[in-house]
Amino acid sequence: MYRILFNLVFRRMDPERAHHLAFLAIRMIPMLGLRRLVRRFTQPRRDTSVTTLGLRFPTPFGVAAGFDKNATAILGLGSLGFGHVEVGTVTAIPQPGNPRPRLFRLIPDRAIVNRMGFNNEGATAAAARVAKVRRVRGRPIVGINIGKSRVVDVADAVADYRTSARAAAPVADYLVVNVSSPNTPGLRDLQALESLRPLLSAVREEVGAKPLLVKIAPDLADDDIVTIADLVIELGLDGIIATNTTISREGLFTDQQTVTAAGAGGLSGAPLAARSLDVLRLLRAHVPPELCVISVGGVETAQDVRDRLDAGATLVQGYTAFIYRGPFWARAINRGLDRLPASV
């Protein structure tokens, strides 16, 4: 049904407009009193829960940052079967993001290119919404992903991240420092050790005992990934999210004219799967087993999730396949995991 709807309607519609329409429908689930009914249909039948970061995740599969930028659809997404929702990326200063169009489908690759640019209403507004959700029974785990405000110079990034962390930490179940989006000028420069150390140290100090993770880019060299992993261990962070979108356009099936027309931005979806899995294996071979490693990038099926878990992921996230699989994507993964054998 959804495939027919996608081919007849959504693929002919501006991708960002289609996203907003789908997002509105998801937000309506709790508003219409359908949350409990939908949850019964989407949750795993057997226990696939994961305990990490001092939290119990009802399923290892969650929705990655970027889908719910302003923390307005957490309960609806939880109802659809996501065990955790990572909201954001939010910034200390509200910002509109980059000019439209800024979201593009590469349908033959089951991928998207985005240059959204952290469009969000600010960390304070998101934190207020998360605070309300925390009081709801049966809510999903909620992470808040924080990034640099565009108007803030890279030299002043530490104070900017501190402001976001101060707003988000009291209400988030876990916090993520995003230094890996390609859509904010200078942001990826913060992955360099001399910049990353003071930034992560400052946020760690700001959030206290709150679980803290850092999200890295797939375009880093393997040696740089290991260096960041060492820093995470040294500073006592709780985990790493691997990976963000890529600036690479290698190996695509989509015709070059369409790819060129999409322009700059982060590529996500199926083309990212191999590199994301490689980074996961590299990290898991290097970090202690108790460190939380969340794998994201090119995940579409229950088998993909199982493969990531078998490769050492603590949790798995997805986003892009939502566009191609539809609203019951998380349900399909949860029910698929029910049927697949667990890792030994």
269 labelled binding-site residue:
yes
Q: Is 181 labeled as catalytic in the residue annotation?
A: yes
- Residue 154, both tokens: 């890279």
Residues 262, 220: Cα–Cα separation, whole Å: 23
Instruction: Confirm or deny that 31 is annotated as ligand binding.
Output: no
CA–CA gap between residue 224 and residue 238 (Å, rounded): 19
- In contact, 204 and 237? CB cutoff 8 Å: yes
Burial, 112: exposed, middle or buried (Cβ in 10 Å; 0-12, 13-18, 19+)? buried
The answer to whether 7 is annotated as binding is no
249 a known binding residue? no
Please tell me whether 114 is known to bind a ligand.
Answer: yes
Tell whether residue 98 is among the known ligand binding residues. Answer: no
Residue 227 annotated as binding site: no
Q: In degrees, to the nearest 5, what angle opens at C-alpha 58 toward C-alphas 6 and 290?
A: 115
Q: Is 285 annotated as a binding residue?
A: no
Catalytic residue among 79, 181, 268, 276: 181
Does 246 count as an annotated binding residue?
A: no
**Helix, coil or strand: residue 81:** coil
Strands 55-57 and 50-52: antiparallel
Binding site annotation covers 184?
Answer: no
In terms of C-beta density within 10 A (0-12 exposed, 13-18 middle, 19 or more buried), how is residue 290 classed?
A: exposed
Task: Give the residue numbers of the binding site for substrate.
Answer: 69, 114-118, 178, 183, 244-245
List active site positions: 181
Task: Give the residue numbers of the binding site.
Answer: 65-69, 89, 114-118, 145, 178, 183, 215, 243-245, 269, 298, 319-320
Task: Give the residue numbers of the binding site for FMN.
Answer: 65-69, 89, 145, 178, 215, 243, 269, 298, 319-320
